[in-house]
Structure 1
C-alpha cells in the first residue's frame, strides 16, 4: 500500500460577519467548530472551519466560515483517511482565517484584530466525529 498524502485544492470564505460595535476589550476568546465531508467518488475532503471571536462575557464580534477542499492521494475509502490529515488540515486553514480577519479589521481603520498563533490539535477528535462520507 502506498503512503497517503493530501494537498489543499481550494479555500473560500463563504460566510463572514463582523460587528466591531461588540468589540470593546483587547482580550479575545475564540470558539471553533469544524466538520468535514469525504467524497469517495473523487477522493476529496471538504473541511468547513468556523471561527467565532468575542470578548469575554459578550456576543461574538466576528464570525468567519472557511471551506477548504483537499485532495487525498492513495485514499479510496473513508476509513483510509490518515490520522495526520485531521489536525493538519485544520492547521492549514487557520492561517488564512487569521490573516483575513486581520486584513479586514485593519482596512476598517480600527486597530486590527490579530488572532494568536495556536496549536489546534485538540480539534482533531471533533473533526473526526463530525466527518461524514458521501
Structure 2
C-alpha cells in the first residue's frame, strides 16, 4: 500500500470581522467551524476554517476570521481514500497562521492583542470529516 502525502499549497483569509463594541476585558470564549471540499479531478482538498471569539457573558462575537487553504494530496483519487490523519494534521498545519493573524489584526486595532493559546485541535477532525464533500 502506497502512503499518502500532502502539502499546503496556498491559504488566504477570506473574511475578517472585528466589532469591539462586543469586546470586554476578561475571559474569551473561542469556537471553531471547519468544513472541506475534495476536488477529485485534481486531488485537491479545500479546507475552510473559521475562528469565532466572544467575550465571556456576551452573545455576540467581537472577532470572526475565515481562512481557506488548499492542500494537494497524492496519490488520492477519491474522498474515501483520504486518511483520517489528514483531517487532524491539516487543521494543525493551518491553525498557527490563523492564530498569528488574529494577534496581528487585534494589535493593529489599538486594543490589547488577542493571543490565542496553542491548542490541541484534534477533536475537530470528526467535524471536518463530517462536513466534507467531494466534487468532480
Smaller-chain TM-score bracket: over 0.9
Q: Say if 2:49 is the partner of 1:55.
A: no
**Separation (CA, whole Å) in 2 of partners of 1:133 and 1:113:** 35
**Separation (CA, whole Å) in 2 of partners of 1:63 and 1:82:** 29
Spell out structure 1 runs of 4+ moving beyond 3 A.
none
Q: Which residue pairs with 1:112 in the alignment?
A: 113
Q: How far has the Cα of 1:106 moved from its partner?
A: 0.8
Residues 26 and 56, structure 2, Cα contact 8 Å, conserved in 1: no
**Separation (CA, whole Å) in 1 of partners of 2:114 and 2:21:** 13
Q: Which residue pairs with 2:5 in the alignment?
A: 5
Query: RMSD over aligned Cα, in angstroms?
Result: 0.8
Q: How far has the Cα of 1:41 moved from its partner?
A: 0.3
Structure 2 alignment gaps of length 5 or more: none
Structure 1 alignment gaps of length 5 or more: none
Q: Which residue pairs with 1:84 in the alignment?
A: 85
**Separation (CA, whole Å) in 2 of partners of 1:25 and 1:110:** 10
* Structure 1 length-normalised TM: 0.97
Q: How far has the Cα of 1:121 moved from its partner?
A: 0.3
Q: Say if 2:131 is the partner of 1:130.
A: yes
**Separation (CA, whole Å) in 1 of partners of 2:93 and 2:2:** 23
Q: Which aligned pairs between 1:13-52 and structure 2 lie closer than 5 A?
A: 13-52=13-52
Q: How far has the Cα of 1:26 moved from its partner?
A: 2.2
Q: Which residue pairs with 1:96 in the alignment?
A: 97
Provide the secondary structure at the position in 1 that maps to 2:106. helix
